[in-house]
Structure 1
Amino acid sequence: MALTMTSALNLLGRHHLLREVIQGEHWSLNAPDTDRGPTEFKTLTYDTRQVGPGSLLFCKGNFRPEYLEGCDQAGLAAYVAQVDLSERCQAPGIIVSDVRKAMSLLASAHYGHPQNDLTLIGITGTKGKTTTAYFLHSMLNRISGGRAALLSSVDNCLDGRHCQESELTTPESLDLFRMMRQAADAGMRYMVMEVSSQAYKMDRVYGLTFDLGAFLNISPDHISPIEHPTFEDYLFCKRQLTYNSRKLVLGADCAHADLIRQDAAAAGVQVTTFGLDESAAGSSPRRDADFLVRLRNRQDGADPDSASGTYLVGPAAGPMARINLAMDGDFNALNAAAALAMVRVLGLEPDREAMEDMEEVRIAGRMERFASGNRVVYVDYAHNEASVGALLDFVDEEYGDRHPAVTLVSGSSGDKAIDRRQGIVQAAQNRVDRLIITGDDEGEEGADHVCRQMLGYVTNPDLDASIILDRTQAITTALKEGAGDGKGLQVILVIGKGEERWIKVGHGHAPYEGDDHIVARLLGIRSHDLGATGKTTV
């Protein structure tokens, strides 16, 4: 059914969001009288540059009244705002108490409630959301015959085959429901999506109920004046996924897991847990998680060199399957366990082909390994204390017996997530031999200020720490010079930007070669060979 002025007002009224409709001097709770019958909105937008005949415009965020100039002439049918803008516009104004909530509800109605045509899976957590989403999507796509869609911080896939670079981890609600409609119309049965804390903070998923939610883990992140003022606020926003899911998969070792279980109990949501089992060979597995992953060479004494990356995954009370992941790190095995637990909770059983699809998943910019001579380079998106700590744990486990010299190349974003700067340094300064601090997305703050602040957090007098603002030069220096005397194994970690081909400067984007391409070029790897080093997605 088409969205009309009358149906929009009725919907907003039922949700207690409607204040009044203003058109000139006339104020009412009803649709304005017209000679053409009910006004049907042809398009919905939050960008005045996209206004056309029959458009409904949402005036959200830092909207300025002067943006409305020319909208009447373009054919604006009505606007939705939290303030009266009639001095700037002749079109009716739908005044609401919360424009973001209104936009989500009206977008859902405009696109015919596409969530009802999909099995919707939402994944949240501080780290691992993207990898888990890709693992799950690969299996669901195989099981369903290519009818699984994906919304991630890297790519969006709406037809099960073709991917397009995404702009936000969780799209604005208007874009989200449009994408859902595209996916449903393309015959998709499942949609796997990352759900960020900002998605709940900014009501991007308002009114949505997920058939299955996953809460992987939580640690401090995104703490800044423009994101979350405190960790409590960050966690509270993440926790909303529990209240808006029919079932929940939860990391058994997640911080504040008891609180999340209380949330689930209050909402009547069934919880299934997953965890890493580090039991010694021959011992009983842990029993406080429903689904487990075990590192095989710890479990059965296999040769560490031949068994690297091989795991046993399955229910704690049942047989385990062997998997051999293309992506390194125990944390990625834990992500695989989460994905497999979700498949089971959905009532599905992955066959060998589905498992193999998951095993082959590689995500551009995430744990991409490059090797040449005595140098091993990892390009990864690690960008906070928890993810840097997990990355260095992996280096210790994988290469510790060879006593490598470790170099970390890292910056941090300007304007936001201010807590990351100290966290990255704290996680690294006593575990690496050289720290090169470099530029990242600088926003309005500027890379120089961020880098100098990060250097100020270094307290280890024995750490070789320096600033090289130009990111390309920083990576070049790390690969050419390494750490220590340059002999023996050199492990170089380049984190933060991955495959991104831009750096945010001010409100715009400056072209950037990409961490992965810079490393490949310096090591003499041709760009079309990158697939062999881990540049494949689903």
Structure 2
Amino acid sequence: MNAQELIQIIPDILSVKGYTDVPIESIDYNSKRIKNGAIFVAIPGFNYDGHDFIPEALERGAGVVIGEKALDLGGKLYIRVKDSRKALALSSAWFYGYPADKLKLIGVTGTSGKTTVTYLISEMLKDIGICTGIIGTIGNVLNNRKLPTSHTTPESLELNQLFSKMVEENIEYLAMEVSSHSLKLQRVEGIKFDVGVFTNLTQDHLDFHKTFEDYFNSKKKLFSQSKQAVINIDDESGKRLLSIINIPRYTYGLDKKADLRAENIRMTANGVSYDLVFRNKIYPVFYSTPGLFSVYNSLAAITAGVALGFPIDDLINTLKKAKGVPGRFELVENNQGIIVIVDYAHKPDGLKNVLLTIREFCTGKIITVFGCGGDRDKGKRPIMGKISSELSDYTIITSDNPRSEKPEAIIEQIESGIIGDNYEKITERAEAIKKAISIAKKGDAVLIAGKGHETYQIFNDKIIHFDDREVAKECLSKGSFK
């Protein structure tokens, strides 16, 4: 590979300085990983500016540097571009031989439901006999082998590396979460999705986007890169999106105008059943996770499968066998007659939906344990406090991942939205879970919300092992704490 070829595929080049006949062996944006013959892409970040690390990259053997600032590297090839992130995405795709083009891609975006929808799509297609992969919050999955992840949607370099691995392992269909961050930060630039799925849009990530309009516009970008759209027509932003895009689309929801519509919804603690109306035919559907959100998630997955051309009967039959997603309405088994649920709900609508679902089958009281993450949207904290106090019989406010913030300060902000006095504050999360289970009686439900599948807790100066499910199991095994 040669830099002369690279220059041909990078858009918005402002200038090229230096000798261009340079062989290329690798590409990276981290100066510490640079080796001889590498392309180093300098990205202006939120905490660090990649341009400051150009000397280190050159010292380590970088043969080409891409950046946004006007620089002279003394003869070394420097390609100045308008947008380094965009250049990284397109350069990475080029370096790895455009692997995304060799996969059938389903991109799922929205505030809630992305993880579950991608898992359901993968499970259904896998059961039909298709080799599938997943990229998302819980992890990246290649042929049932799970790989760790640090972002919902990886940086464009790592994303193309994953695509390349999936092609090598004969993955045919890939279901991936596409976050608003990844769309705004050009991580999926240049990728064409066979189907783009929109689940919903509610308040979240306003610490990053600042306005709801920017949040919506970032999500909207996915559909300029999709061949077909699958949209939740019951969501106001979904309706708005539907009026803007100009690609083939399928809609789903409870609305009579939806292409795939759920009717006669029946809910139990074991799951949800409904009648799916599609093209004037009725199909009975069962999915083993209860809740109205499960109706929407399963509808989204089935609709995506229909858009891809799979028979609806096959999709519905495979859905019956689909396993639950780790940390999403996950029941912690016990012999004490207490319903203990661990859920990732860390946004207002997520917490509300889970609590409303529990209320439908819980015969006793609902005790909720939750906190909010530090260095994230502060506006949702009092909103979630209000929701928990209104929909739970008792709330224990605790710590989540405080990061650089003081846990007590976060808890106070949650407390400001609480209505009534049916709550208490326990900063230590393990102690909060212990207290909730200790006061629960037979028939009661304990919801441990916010962290779901996570197996760690992030503080300002450390990351510790912490799993809500493990803590709950330990507390339940002891039975009583009096």
Residue among 388, 392, 395 paired with 1:428: 388
CA RMSD, 1 decimal: 2.2
Map 1:38-187 → 2, pairs under 5 A? 38-60=21-43, 61=45, 62-86=48-72, 91-143=76-128, 145-158=129-142, 160-187=143-170
Task: Determine if contact 1:104/1:173 at 8 Å carries over to the other structure.
Answer: yes
Amino acid aligned to 2:36: P
Q: CA deviation at 1:502?
A: 1.3
Question: What is the TM-score of this pair, normalised by structure 2?
Answer: 0.92
1:20 counterpart residue number: 15
Alignment of 1:460-475 (within 5 A): 460-461=419-420, 463-475=421-433
User: How far apart in 2 are the matches of 1:70 and 1:271?
Assistant: 49
The worse-fitting range, judged by mean Cα deviation, of 329-338 and 51-60 is 329-338
- In structure 2, what is the Cα distance between the partners aligned to 1:494 and 1:384? 14
| Closer, same or farther: CA 316–447 of 1 in aligned 2, 3 Å | farther
**C-alpha contact (below 8 Å) 2:51/2:67 kept by paired residues:** no
Aligned residue in 2 for 1:528: none
Partner SS for 1:339: helix
Alpha-carbon offset, residue 494 of structure 1: 0.4
Give the one of 346, 361, 378 matched to 2:308. Answer: 346
CA distance in 1, matches of 2:41, 2:457: 29
Partner deviation per Cα, 1:125-152 (whole Å, 9 max, x = no partner): 1111100110001112233x34111101
1:35-434 matches, within 5 Å, as 38-60=21-43, 61=45, 62-86=48-72, 91-143=76-128, 145-158=129-142, 160-224=143-207, 227-264=208-245, 268-276=246-254, 287-295=256-264, 297=266, 308-315=271-278, 317-323=280-286, 325-349=287-311, 355-356=317-318, 359-370=321-332, 371-399=334-362, 402=363, 404-434=364-394
| Cα 1:65/1:152, change in 2 over 3 Å | closer
* 1:259 CA displacement: 1.7
CA distance in 2, matches of 1:338, 1:464: 37
Q: Which residue of 1 aligns with 2:410?
A: 450
**Structure 2 unmatched runs, 5+:** none
Q: Is the 8 A contact 1:86 1:93 kept in 2?
A: yes
Task: Provide the C-alpha distance between the structure 1 equivalents of 2:50 and 2:156, rounded to a whole number of angstroms.
Answer: 21
Cα pair 2:233 2:239 within 8 Å, conserved? no
The secondary structure found in structure 1 opposite 2:290 is coil
**For the structure 1 residues 523 and 448, does the alpha-carbon distance in structure 2 shift closer, same or farther, using more than 3 Å as the test?**
same
| Residue 86 (structure 1) shift | 4.3
Number of aligned residues: 474
Which 4+ stretches in 1 moved above 6 angstroms?
Answer: none
Q: Within 2, Cα distance between the matches of 1:180 and 1:385?
A: 33
Alpha-carbon shift at residue 354 of structure 1 (Å)? 7.4
Structure whose CA Rg is larger:
1
| 2:445 equivalent in structure 1 | 491
| CA distance 1:259–1:330, change in 2 (3 Å) | closer
Q: 3-state SS of the aligned residue for 1:106?
A: helix
The offset of 1:205, in angstroms, is 0.9
* Counterpart for residue 522 of structure 1: 475
| Residues 146-189 of structure 1, C-alpha deviations (whole Å, 9 max, x = no match) | 4111101101013x221123211111111111111111121111
- 1:29 aligned partner: none
Higher alpha-carbon deviation: 199-208 or 327-336? 327-336
Q: Is the CA contact 2:107–2:177 (under 8 Å) kept in the aligned structure 1?
A: yes
Q: How far 1:314 moved relative to its partner?
A: 4.8
Unaligned runs of 5+ in 1: 24-31, 277-285, 299-303, 526-538
Alignment partners' CA distance in 2, 1:509 and 1:139: 39
Conservation of the 8 A alpha-carbon contact between 1:219 and 1:255: no
SS at match of 2:318: helix
Whether 1:439 and 2:434 are equivalent positions in the alignment is: no
Tell me how far apart the structure 2 counterparts of residues 319 and 70 of structure 1 sit (CA, whole Å). Answer: 64
User: 1:470 is aligned with what amino acid?
Assistant: E
TM-score normalized with structure 1 length: 0.83
Amino acid corresponding to residue 22 of structure 1 in structure 2: K
